[in-house]
Structure 1
Amino acid sequence: MAETAQRSGRSNVLTSFDPRTGEVVGNYAVMSPGELNRTVRAARSAEKWWAELGFSGRKRWLLDWKRSIARRAGELVEILCEETGKPEADAAIEVMLAIENLDWAARNATRVLGRHRLGSTWLTRNQRASVGYLPLGVVGVLGPWNNPVLTPMGSIAYAMAAGNTVVFKPNELTTGVGVWLAESWSRLAPNQPVLQVVTGDHGTAAALCRTKVDKIAYAGSDAGAREVISLCAQTMTPVVVERNGKGAMIVHVDAKLEDAAEAAVFGAMANAGQNATGIQRAYVASSVYDRFLELVADQARRLRPGADKRASYGPMILESQVDVVRKQVRDALARGGKAVVGGMDSIREPYIEPIVLTDVPEESVAITSEGIGPVLIVNKVANVDEAVRRINAVGNGVAVSMFTRDVHGVEAFAEQLRVGVVTINSSTTYGAIPALPIGGVGEYGQGHHHGDQGLREFSRTLAVATKRYRAPVNLSTFDRHPRDLRLAKAIFRLRHRRMG
């Protein structure tokens, strides 16, 4: 957790606390608008140098940065544990995945964004066409509190690989993580502010949105996303958004139930349920429902939150989120849902023990709202089609995991779902594939992270067409010869009116 306090004779100071113990882990300045503007100007000054290095030059710098982070990863893991309360193993995995994304972006930027030739038609065969991708300039990144290394690296690394400089505003709960990342770059290139951090609270993030950077990448809550989009609209600054809110699971009649149950519990409970790639609810075919629920309940009861190394997961990072979970569980039970594991008594701040609910009505806020917390909803459905209808009706199109032994025809099935990612026989692991683009649908569809699309998200297209010789059939002139038009029409009829 964090709070802003007024200190005598000083500007506001942001104090960061360990959510497990309440101990202070760091104090950081709340930057003034003037300091923020100077930071953006410094990013502008480094923009030309970084862009002119080209793909190969930037690749060398980014891989050097990757190696530097990897050598000192233990420091970053320690800060991550202190600011989020995550078990050390979870923090280490997050750091490793972030480094993998940095490595992938550095190594693939040339292939994805480098200039390449395009085809032409018979009318323009005398033209040589190509397309390439250039950097936007300065990108502002607003990081989340739940995965404060991995999630922002999905924007920072891809924006830098595309040739942009980055101004990173970490969430106030995890400021130390952002400061460490920026300092790791500064140690490598002290005179080139390609990556800088700005520290502060909600007002600092809003001010960054108003600075007219070339793009803002945001990760966080629905309410925060709407505010960022609204602020950026005032300056016509484009936005890419990764919203909170977990996905759903479908368990078919032929699924390996042990595997599905394991994935459902991990997807719902890992990181205290604070993963945007996690599982909020599972729709299970009626014929296997009882057995699946039994397996889920058995696994969930084994989990134990806490601060020690043997704990399954840590505390709720955002203090107010405990009240959100309490409201969602209370509403689900009041509407007729049943608690199979845990219940209202499971909420013991700052920890929430595993909660498994069933028979929860679809209109419950536990289903319609962002699912952030160690809560899993297991609902019975008649068949897969009903599961699809329910998922599409809710509309929070992040990801769906389907468990089935029959993988043939799954892609056709996946196209029925209004979501950005569909996984088969796995749940959260898709977030660990750097090449896989992650995006959503509807309100969740503001751009992409990771993969080729993630690199292009931070680039602008430059198309070039060069005339190589005089066109045999020249129609681009007021002095066109009638013979050229007759020939063009004849060729057109041969090409487009014949069968096949």
Structure 2
Amino acid sequence: MTATPDVDRPAPFTGSGTIHSPATGAVAGQVRWTDAADVPRIAAGLREAQREWEARGAKGRAKVLARYAVWLGDHRDEIEKLLIAETGKSAVDAAQEVPLLIMILAYYIKTVEKAMAPDTRPAPLPFLSVKKIAVYYRPRPVVGIIAPWNYPVANAMMDAIGALAAGCAVLLKPSERTPLTAEVLLRGWLDSGAPEVLALAQGAREVSEAVIDNSDYIQFTGSSATGAKVMERAARRLTPVSLELGGKDPMIVLEDADVELAANAAVWGAMFNAGQTCVSVERVYVLEPVYDQFVAAVVRAVENLKMGSGEGYDFGSQIDDSQVAITDRHVTQAVAAGAKALTGGKRPEGEGSFYPPTVLVDVDHTMSCMTEETFGPTLPIMKVSSVEEAVRLANDSQYGLSASVFSKDIDRAKAVALQLDCGAVNINDVISNLMCTTAPMGGWKTSGIGARFGGVDGVRKFCKQETVVAPRTSVGAGGNYYNNSHKALARMNKLMTRLALARPRRVAK
């Protein structure tokens, strides 16, 4: 769920600040900014509290997470009201975030004990069967999470849940554009009877840098350029990172697709949250036989959309005028280069950071709307003559987050999916991989490193692995020590070599 970076913003944030709605300009609330110099102290407090949190064990932590899930459900209306106020979202878009967190919590409550259980490993060779081999998962004390503004609830906590389940403490740095809901999420954690292993650091670049410098693992969501800077700073202390970065997700519509389904999926996937989703549908390649039908269906669907903040609207404002400017630049450049805007295409007059849903045709890869991440409510559609052309164009990108393929022939769609250079592909759907917490969500190329979720790996990613090798018996102990004769050592080495070569010799025949 990528968003424009906050780590890179140099503006000083001191004292307290006022947050305004990007849709109306009304005051959404007040926030007290964190002094970057205080971050080491905050991290130290988390590190101290983490010891007891880890000692509770997986079952003990699951009980706390369960209480937190119940709290989120009980306070959903309050959270969504504030979410709309500070982001300008529609009520429809705001309603998605808390249920996603509850779903993730429900999954890890039942999974964490298995995830944290040590793995036993078999002996690699018969003569090592005298050893018991086990891999233990030890939580990293403090996980720093630098979250973006596009989903202030979901992006703030979807990774934190896995880290907390693992037994880590979490130092969360929300976007300075949307800091208010994070305060409510923290209050809910403490009201659930949880220990103080979740803390906030509010601010921009200096605070983000301090979080990186004082954490044992970093989860960053943002732009590819800023992700590289996060990784570079983390490398100073060899701090591991997981990065979910930019996307320019393609959709491919084959000639045998259900065109109405594909068109409605494209519109929802492009316009949901005003296009401010990492896995938004940002470009569409349609096979020539169904191109005209698809475009007509898309335009009909878009013309029914209502844009506005709060209740009664399909999608809301963009986060601020700088994001609107990017969207407008992509559209304006495309039209100047020969594209046509069948809907929208121009920022409306009046208050708020709104941009109308814009369908673009006659586009190609010379245009920024097809190659750069827009992160706005646009839908550029390109006609292609073959599946091979569609795949080639879909892969012609620096990004590789996710994609979608539409066809009534599922096996054919899977064959196309496995030619796409990205971390996830949805067949006859869009964005649904976000709900699949049992599978990894990660990007290729400049779309990221590492993955979210992934079953037990969504917990284990926040852990260090520790291998413990214990004896089953004293037989064979010390067989290769210096106190044995050279002849005995030579015999053992000869035996080890012969046993190790047995399988390669069989396979090589």
Scaled by the length of structure 2, the TM-score of the pair is 0.91
2:236 & 2:215 partners in 1: Cα distance? 12
Shift in alpha-carbon separation, 1:472–1:199, aligned structure 2, 3 A: closer
Shift in alpha-carbon separation, 1:331–1:467, aligned structure 2, 3 A: same
SS in 2 for 1:76: helix
Match of 2:463 among 452, 455, 459: 459
Match of 1:437 among 435, 440, 446: 440
**Could you tell me which residue of structure 2 aligns to residue 298 of structure 1?**
300
State the identity as a percent. 32
Match of 1:141 among 140, 145, 150: 145
More moved, 329-338 vs 276-285? 329-338
- The answer as to 2:128 corresponding to 1:124 is yes
1:51 & 1:83 partners in 2: Cα distance? 35
Contact 2:247 2:447 (C-alpha < 8 Å) held by counterparts: no
How much has 1:494 moved relative to structure 2? 4.7
Match of 1:307 among 309, 330, 335: 309
Match of 2:335 among 333, 336, 359: 333
Q: RCO (CA 8 Å, sep 6+): is it higher in 1 or 2? A: 2
SS in 1 for 2:171: strand
More moved, 297-306 vs 107-116? 107-116
**Could you tell me which residue of structure 2 aligns to residue 263 of structure 1?**
265
2:480 & 2:393 partners in 1: Cα distance? 54
Contact 1:304 1:353 (C-alpha < 8 Å) held by counterparts: no
**Could you tell me which residue of structure 1 aligns to residue 374 of structure 2?**
371
**Could you tell me which residue of structure 1 aligns to residue 189 of structure 2?**
185
Residue identity matched to 2:155: T
Shift in alpha-carbon separation, 1:259–1:53, aligned structure 2, 3 A: same
**Could you tell me which residue of structure 1 aligns to residue 290 of structure 2?**
288
Deviations 1:429-454 (A, max 9, x none): 22122222110112223111122332
Deviations 1:310-354 (A, max 9, x none): 211111113310111111111222222222222135586521111
More moved, 389-398 vs 462-471? 462-471
**Could you tell me which residue of structure 2 aligns to residue 228 of structure 1?**
230
**Could you tell me which residue of structure 2 aligns to residue 468 of structure 1?**
472
**Could you tell me which residue of structure 2 aligns to residue 153 of structure 1?**
157
1:327 & 1:133 partners in 2: Cα distance? 48
2:405 & 2:382 partners in 1: Cα distance? 14
Give the CA RMSD over aligned residues.
2.5
Deviations 1:47-103 (A, max 9, x none): 101111111111111111111121111111111111112122321221111121122
**Could you tell me which residue of structure 1 aligns to residue 94 of structure 2?**
91
1:443 & 1:5 partners in 2: Cα distance? 26
**Could you tell me which residue of structure 2 aligns to residue 175 of structure 1?**
179
Contact 1:265 1:296 (C-alpha < 8 Å) held by counterparts: yes
How much has 1:155 moved relative to structure 2? 1.1
**Could you tell me which residue of structure 1 aligns to residue 63 of structure 2?**
60
1:79 & 1:264 partners in 2: Cα distance? 29
Contact 2:246 2:448 (C-alpha < 8 Å) held by counterparts: no
In structure 2, stretches of 5+ residues that fail to align are none
How much has 1:34 moved relative to structure 2? 3.4
Deviations 1:139-164 (A, max 9, x none): 11111111111122221101101110
SS in 1 for 2:188: helix
- The answer as to 2:81 corresponding to 1:71 is no
After the TM superposition, list the runs of 4 or more consecutive aligned residues in structure 1 that deviate by more than 6 angstroms: 1-7, 472-475
Contact 2:258 2:407 (C-alpha < 8 Å) held by counterparts: yes
Match of 1:13 among 9, 13, 16: 16
Deviations 1:170-228 (A, max 9, x none): 111211111111111122337x3111112223332232223x21012111223332332
More moved, 489-498 vs 268-277? 489-498
1:221 & 1:483 partners in 2: Cα distance? 58
How much has 1:253 moved relative to structure 2? 1.2
1:498 & 1:103 partners in 2: Cα distance? 47
Deviations 1:456-489 (A, max 9, x none): 2211111111121356799744543655555555
1:14 & 1:106 partners in 2: Cα distance? 37
Contact 2:402 2:422 (C-alpha < 8 Å) held by counterparts: yes
1:26 & 1:200 partners in 2: Cα distance? 15
More moved, 123-132 vs 341-350? 341-350
SS in 2 for 1:27: strand
2:263 & 2:204 partners in 1: Cα distance? 39
**Could you tell me which residue of structure 1 aligns to residue 83 of structure 2?**
80
1:233 & 1:489 partners in 2: Cα distance? 39
Residue identity matched to 1:166: V
Residue identity matched to 1:174: T
**Could you tell me which residue of structure 2 aligns to residue 277 of structure 1?**
279
1:443 & 1:456 partners in 2: Cα distance? 24
Shift in alpha-carbon separation, 1:215–1:496, aligned structure 2, 3 A: closer
1:320 & 1:445 partners in 2: Cα distance? 24
2:105 & 2:222 partners in 1: Cα distance? 21
2:266 & 2:416 partners in 1: Cα distance? 20
Residue identity matched to 1:312: D
Shift in alpha-carbon separation, 1:477–1:234, aligned structure 2, 3 A: closer
Shift in alpha-carbon separation, 1:412–1:347, aligned structure 2, 3 A: farther
Contact 1:102 1:153 (C-alpha < 8 Å) held by counterparts: no
